[in-house]
Chain A
């Protein structure tokens, strides 16, 4: 069940009414949300519900067992078991075929036939997201940052449909307290919720679909047919597409949760306005960045140890983060490019500071341009089907001069406008939101209807799947 569909609109309308009717009754309210989330998930594939149910039961069992364990050894053993079960499940569904193919390819290069065949495992939607959330719950209990919640609360948290399929990655300590406390039905932050939902729909249905159809899909499919300027704009356009697609999804998710009285963490904060790669990762898929920082970078040693060790930790975190996005070497390279860029950036800035250099007038512009283009370069490997396709694209970027016909004025306008929009101060948008919230209900409804009209009129026929569903 995709967000921008009538099925979801009807489903959500029913859930909204039941949510506020049942909110004074804690157990029925929780049971209703749990049932709604499983109905939502079953719409993708009913069999996946068994996997989600297993994850809920197993992680609750690990959380409770760790909390009750007396000795540190027992606690650590249970933690390791919990991590192995979670990563084992994720590894089987997501990486088993990747492993088989990689080993077969490498040994095949030496003339060794493994005889292994692809297991043809279908990756269940949402598994990457709920596995990371479940891990945070178990690890937080181990670290004594949280206590186990009742099973029903944990089940509602892990399966809650707005964040289930493609995030944001909501921590247990962010959502579980809200499930326990009763939201005030007289104070729904509807203005922010509607703003997020409308912005998300426009980004996903109009912008993402437009740039994909206008240039991205064609250029990445057959780069040999295109000239350098077309390829350059296809890369820029893909940067816009994946931002519009993914941030659009999470905007809708956060808005829907907010209408139900539950708050999710922010996931995007104008990432293409970042002046450094480090700042980019504080603005892009923020919930994943912070998850990787807390549950991977810091356990690896974080900033402890020498400079080299710190750089290695950073690099490994980015590479593993890349692999989380997909079981392919192109994703590993995507993560590695970011890892190298982060390390290089850190060292260059430290060296400049040590040399007493002061940033010049144009320093922010140069830093923005370098950051944006490094991010775009990495996106080539994220989007390309293979290294061959990525290198062909990059080669033609420099070796096939020319403008071509695929770069239209509308495409240039959309790309430039979307990048420029990242620099609009959020206070300006907040002021519009305040005016909206204080308008009469009929005016608010009319504004929303006009927004839906624009989304429908400017959008394509049908709804393309969200890019991040595959992760």
Chain B
């Protein structure tokens, strides 16, 4: 019964091979020094990370903690090394010296719109046409990570349809709550609208149920102030997207597995639906019946097809394919055939 215990061969690669072992205390000192130097070198990256924390005390504490590293990095110019590397790699650069923005400033009423306000235009809100291979429909689709699979599915669906020219942009962790992380109004204005898309499909909301910074005060999604501000932002984006007969398809949030999260998404869906109703160029696409085909409840799959990913939030390929079909049907009905629903 006695078991012979020898050093397993699998552990031999840990042999020091000439390396000098160190006392644990010195390892700790090296680690702490490395973290301190890395904090200065990566001050801008740390600031980005701190800014991504939920609005409120966590973000304030994180930004305060980063401030000394930013100061040292700025004075010594050590933090410029990271900027240079990211610039060479064609990546965006944030400067922690720039200071914080509240986010509300991004959502200002558009001034360069073809209309003066909802329902007061002299031209039809959506100018329909039948696209062709020679003159394909310019379609743009974007939003948060919910649109990653959706974009893939729409791309797959139009791969043999040269009459549709599709551009997509899925920005992970983004939404309308935190333009300090990703500024959708600025992106739409600077990158999307200049390409004059005829159909814009957006899907926001999954990351939006978090604190908002309104006039310097944090508000949570249950607060009337939060909902009023979020409604205003939705309206601003809808108005911003109007112009040149463009159709906007605003995709609502599907049922979520977590009951609390599902309830919060239902509130957002209500806002999208109501704001779209007063704007004839916006079509609200309710994704709930599409992704819960067998009833009004969260559904992971149907008929052997997986609709949602294991997190109970994101779309799986099967769900994305269903939603892509619904989007393209809406394009056909609302734009090509122009049958407002």
Contacts and interface: CB of A to CB of B under 8 A. Distances in A.
A430 to B, nearest CB: 5
A345 interface: no
A441 interface: yes
Nearest to B171: A461
Contact of B16 (A189, A265, A445, A448): A189
Given A189-B14, A453-B38, 6 more contacts: A16-B27, A147-B3, A191-B19, A221-B152, A437-B19, A437-B22
Given A186-B23, A441-B29, A222 B85 contact: no
B146 interface: no
Interface in B1-25: 1, 3, 5, 8, 10-11, 13-14, 16-25
Classify chain B: how many residues form its interface, as a range. 35 or more
Nearest to B20: A437
B100 interface: no
Contacts of B149: 221
Contacts of B155: 221-222, 225
10 contacts: A123-B310, A144-B3, A147-B1, A174-B8, A177-B5, A185-B23, A185-B24, A221-B155, A436-B19, A457-B91
A300 interface: no
Q: Which 6 A-B pairs have the closest CB atoms?
A: A265-B10, A445-B33, A449-B37, A448-B34, A221-B152, A187-B21
A9 B27 CA distance: 15
A177 B7 CA distance: 9
Contact of A258 (B14, B156, B173): B14
Interface of B: 1, 3, 5, 8, 10-11, 13-14, 16-31, 33-38, 41-42, 45, 48-49, 81-82, 85-86, 89, 91, 149, 152, 155-156, 159-160, 172-173, 300-301, 304, 310, 317
B24 A462 contact: no
Given A222-B152, A430-B17, A458-B89, A118 B48 contact: no
B20 A144 contact: no
Interface in A152-191: 171, 173-174, 177, 185-191
Contacts of B48: 461
A444 interface: yes
Nearest to B94: A461
B37 A144 contact: no
Interface in A414-437: 430, 433-434, 436-437
Given A147-B3, A437-B19, A453 B34 contact: no
Given A190-B22, A290-B10, A146 B35 contact: no
A368 interface: no
A6 interface: yes
Interface in A1-28: 6, 9, 13, 16-17, 20
B179 to A, nearest CB: 15
A266 interface: yes
Interface string A442-461: 10111011101110111001
B21 A457 contact: no
